[in-house]
Amino acid sequence: MYTQSLDTAPALKAMPAPADAAQAGLQTRFDTKLDTSQKIEPQDWMPEAYRKTLIRQISQHAHSEIIGMQPEGNWISRAPSLKRKAILLAKVQDEAGHGLYLYSAAETLGVSRDQLLDGLHTGKAKYSSIFNYPTLTWADVGVIGWLVDGAAIMNQVPICRCSYGPYARAMIRICKEESFHQRQGFESLMVQMGGTAEQRTMVQDAVNRWWWPVLAMFGPPDANSPNTAQGMRWGIKRISNDELRQKFVDATVPQTKVLGVTLPDPDLKWNEDRQCHDYGAIDWDDFWAVVGGNGPCNKERLATRVKAHEEGQWVRDAALAYADKQKARALKEAA
Ligand code: FAQ
């Protein structure tokens, strides 16, 4: 549904000046790889700032996936049928899998899983603002699939072309699964919209609450996005925050018509000159408050995550003890 995001021109490259001749050679090789759309792999030389940027973005992305299990996970025990429960269980499990692929991709950059998780658990690392809002009704689960996964795909399909090989390859699989998630959300909402007046009101209420946070999820406006320019030069980011947000609005408006819901924006209208939709002002103060830890559910999300990690310690200990035992046995047999 969102694969048009792949059709973009390659970004320009502009690298900082190298420190000496040896580094200049490495830098040239790195630049050439970017210029010729070859992937940078873990064993390749890369500028330190490129490595750090990737660790920042990939780990934030991984944290978002595992914190993102909570809003929907909240409804697993209350899904309205066995079918919806099985679908939701599979979806939430997929998000855990996405987190694992992404942590593994980040680890190839020389950072450990423990360091990454420590950043999340101590509140130092960011994760997506969108997962700090509550899921008040069953309709929220459908809206997360339709709009949150829809926005995630819009942002993530271009990352399949990211210059860093392990991240790009992880994203190909993730996007396939996210696309399925988005369609299941839309289908669930279609069923609810075909139900009672009360169900339709519930869906509309969920759309009203999620629309603006979803638009903000693409990140600050390009003019206030400190990481975009360099991220695009390095081929990590392919399309800017505002461009992706616009594509998402334009893709979503026709879907609202099929669904029979409205979007809570009186300024939303087709602009004939720009050949896209105009939309109203996003509340960036609210966004930054949420990013800064003061959203409706930040504290609850982090506390739940830390508790799950602590309660899982015995599983990690048991797995390590088993691996040690296997290793010792293999050594004994080889001796
Ligand atoms: N929330 O200069 P920019 C999902 C931060 S996965 C919190 O524009 P950049 C799947 C940003 O980190 C959703 N913070 O930064 C799912 C930076 O702070 P820093 C996650 C945000 O990196 C669905 C500062 O603002 N997806 O939904 C947010 O060039 C359903 C300045 O921003 C990804 O992570 C935000 N929304 O662009 C799971 C995709 N936006 O680090 C469960 C990969 C910005 O300098 C259920 N990431 N910030 O301290 C990206 O594409 C980029 O990192 C952006 C931000 C676009 C998120």
Q: What pLDDT, in 10s, does the model give residues 57-76?
A: 999 999 999 999 999 999 99
Cβ(225) – ligand 1 distance below 6 Å: yes
Residue 218 CA to ligand 1 center (angstroms) comes to 7
Q: How sure is the predictor about 23, in pLDDT bands with cuts at 50, 70 and 90?
A: confident
Residue 272 has pLDDT above 70, yes or no: yes
Which of 64, 214, 298 has most ligand 1 atoms within 8 Å of its beta carbon, as the pocket-test mutant?
Answer: 64
Cβ(241) – ligand 1 distance below 6 Å: yes
Contact 211, 264 (CB under 8 A): yes
Which of 127, 179, 245, 291 has most ligand 1 atoms within 8 Å of its beta carbon, as the pocket-test mutant?
Answer: 291
Cβ(119) – ligand 1 distance below 6 Å: no
Cβ(74) – ligand 1 distance below 6 Å: no
Residue 228 CA to ligand 1 center (angstroms) comes to 11
Residue 2 has pLDDT above 70, yes or no: no
What is the predicted pLDDT for the residue at 284? 98
Which of 54, 126, 180 has most ligand 1 atoms within 8 Å of its beta carbon, as the pocket-test mutant?
Answer: 126
Cβ(217) – ligand 1 distance below 6 Å: yes
Which pLDDT tens digit goes with each residue over 293-328?
999 999 999 999 999 999 999 999 999 999 999 999
Q: Which of 258, 281, 280, 261 has its CA nearest to residue 269?
A: 280
Q: How sure is the predictor about 19, in pLDDT bands with cuts at 50, 70 and 90?
A: low
| Pairwise CA distance, residues 204 & 206, whole Å | 5
The SS3 assignment for 227 reads: coil
Q: How sure is the predictor about 1, in pLDDT bands with cuts at 50, 70 and 90?
A: very low
Q: Ligand 1, atom 24: nearest CA belongs to which residue?
A: 225
* Percent of the chain surpassing pLDDT 70: 94
Contact 157, 247 (CB under 8 A): no
Q: How sure is the predictor about 16, in pLDDT bands with cuts at 50, 70 and 90?
A: low
Q: How sure is the predictor about 335, in pLDDT bands with cuts at 50, 70 and 90?
A: confident
Mean pLDDT of the chain: 94
* Percent of the chain surpassing pLDDT 90: 93
Cβ(65) – ligand 1 distance below 6 Å: yes
* Global pTM value: 0.93
Give the number of other CB atoms < 10 A from CB of residue 69.
Answer: 22
Q: Where are the alpha helices (DSSP H) in the chain?
A: 21-35, 48-67, 69-73, 82-107, 113-121, 138-143, 149-156, 165-193, 197-216, 228-233, 241-259, 284-289, 298-311, 313-334
Residue 62 CA to ligand 1 center (angstroms) comes to 11
